[in-house]
Amino acid sequence: MAEMHHIEVDRLRAAVRHLVKGFGSQDKEIELVTENLIQANLTGHDSHGVGMLPRYTEAFLEGGLKANAHIVTRMDSGAMLSLDGQAGFGQVIGHEAMELGIARAQEHGSCVVALGNSHHLCRIGAWAEMAVDQGLISVHFVNAFSRPIVAPFGGGDARFGTNPFTVGIPMAGQPPILLDFATSVIAQGKTRVAHNKREQLPSGQLIDDQGRPTTDPVYGVKAPFGALRTFGDHKGFGLALVCELLGGALAGGLTTSGPADGKKRILNGMLTIIFDPKKLTEGSVFETEMQSFVEWVKASPPAPGQDHVRIAGEPEREHRARRMAQGVPVDDNTWQDMLVAAQKLGVDPAVMKQLAGL
Ligand SMILES: NC(=O)c1ccc[n+]([C@@H]2O[C@H](COP(=O)([O-])OP(=O)(O)OC[C@H]3O[C@@H](n4cnc5c(N)ncnc54)[C@H](O)[C@@H]3O)[C@@H](O)[C@H]2O)c1
């Protein structure tokens, strides 16, 4: 098990900000990238946190990730938008696409945003949070275009990405519902996290390069590669397929259709539907029905070994509260990879260490 650092959040933020400057990013980009990654760690999704920076560095140095890029509008019919992310930081491109989509949903009641060619959009829940903050519902179908890493149900090798699906629903006077998951049993970054921590994965998540079940995360990290499985067998596979078709073929114009090309960039296509629930229900029916359903479900007696029923979004809020108080755990392998990335970007790793207090 690798040594674990618990880094106070403001210190980690300062160290990450320093690293991100190495991409040559303008101030707003530095803030958006840093904050998005820190929030992924705070919500417990280390697979999408600061540990992504070494991969972003490789993608940037290869030319597959562009600094200081912004969305370009391909088609605009008011409540429907088609946008190109110019291979820019997903943290910036996602933010700009959602700002535009939210403004249109406020004007028209709903907006469909087709976003293609964005570099890694990271934790898709971050985009749903922007919508729920404005009282809007959002639904996101996303394809992930890099090395194929997920096997279709019934198949023995990887054919597509971890294709996340996300829904955000605001609840009056209460935290929102935030359903946000990869359609693979686990997000790909979780194999990296387990490998860096020298841990095995639970069974049923991964197959090896021969299509046999394995618990060794190395098959998700280094050649010879195996593949992740979809969650819920054929059901998760079906949702992954829909994400590839709507997020990839329709929004992104780019689907996985061949073996890995060896490039480090991760492109996401995202089809987002944003709408105002107040335009669909009269009075407070939706709110009261939603609240009474959530209360009813949460009142279920805990199953053996469980403490209580949680609603989507709750585990992330619990993580955030804990990590704000106790610091963000970053394993030493990840931290060392970040220092190497800093060096490759011409940023002094000694300053990063000092800022992080390590
Ligand atoms: N950009 C990309 O290409 C990409 C690809 C894959 C995943 N992702 C992101 O990775 C992140 C992690 O995905 P994941 O599949 O590992 O997430 P996960 O398996 O931790 O599932 C997260 C979802 O399940 C809910 N949840 C978790 N535990 C729960 C419990 N005990 N009871 C009720 N609900 C519970 C969470 O609130 C959340 O909605 C997500 O933010 C996703 O958007 C991004």
Index of the ligand 1 atom closest to the CA of residue 188: 6
pLDDT at residue 2 greater than cutoff 80? no
Asked whether 164 lines ligand 1 (CB < 6 A), one says yes
Q: Which residue in 101, 100, 95 sits closest to 122, CA to CA?
A: 95
Secondary structure (DSSP) of 6-31: EE-HHHHHHHHHHHHHTTT--HHHHH
User: Is pLDDT larger for residue 26 or for residue 257?
Assistant: 26
Position 342 confidence tier, pLDDT thresholds 50, 70, 90: very high
Beta bridge partners of 301: none
Q: Which residue has its alpha carbon closest to ligand 1 atom 28?
A: 315
Beta bridge partners of 88: 66
Asked whether 125 lines ligand 1 (CB < 6 A), one says yes
Quick: pLDDT tens for 245-271.
Answer: 999 999 999 999 988 888 999 999 999
What CA–CA distances, in Å, run from 237 to 113, 185, 252, 290, 357? Answer: 24, 10, 20, 29, 44
- Name the segment(s) of the chain with CATH classification 3.30.1370.60: 4-187+232-278+285-356
Calculate what percentage of the chain has a pLDDT beyond 70. Answer: 100
Angstrom distance (rounded) from CA 206 to CA 357: 36
Q: Which CATH superfamily is domain 188-229 in?
A: Hypothetical oxidoreductase yiak; domain 3 (3.30.60.50)
Asked whether 92 lines ligand 1 (CB < 6 A), one says no
Q: Which residue has its alpha carbon closest to ligand 1 atom 3?
A: 144
- Name the segment(s) of the chain with CATH classification 3.30.60.50: 188-229
Half-sphere exposure of 111 (CA within 13 A, CB side): 25
User: Is pLDDT larger for residue 129 or for residue 262?
Assistant: 129
Please give the distance, rounded to the nearest whole angstrom, from the Cα atom of residue 15 to the centre of ligand 1. Answer: 26
For the domain spanning 4-187+232-278+285-356, the CATH number is 3.30.1370.60
Please give the distance, rounded to the nearest whole angstrom, from the Cα atom of residue 345 to the centre of ligand 1. Answer: 30
pLDDT of residue 1: 65
Please give the distance, rounded to the nearest whole angstrom, from the Cα atom of residue 343 to the centre of ligand 1. Answer: 32
If one residue of 119, 124, 181 were mutated to test the ligand 1 pocket, choosing by the most ligand atoms within 8 A of its CB, it would be 181
What CA–CA distances, in Å, run from 213 to 126, 162, 165, 186? Answer: 33, 18, 25, 15
- The pTM assigned to this predicted structure is 0.96
pLDDT of residue 283: 81
Index of the ligand 1 atom closest to the CA of residue 190: 16
Quick: pLDDT tens for 73-88.
Answer: 999 999 999 999 999 9
Quick: pLDDT tens for 278-298.
Answer: 999 988 899 999 999 999 999
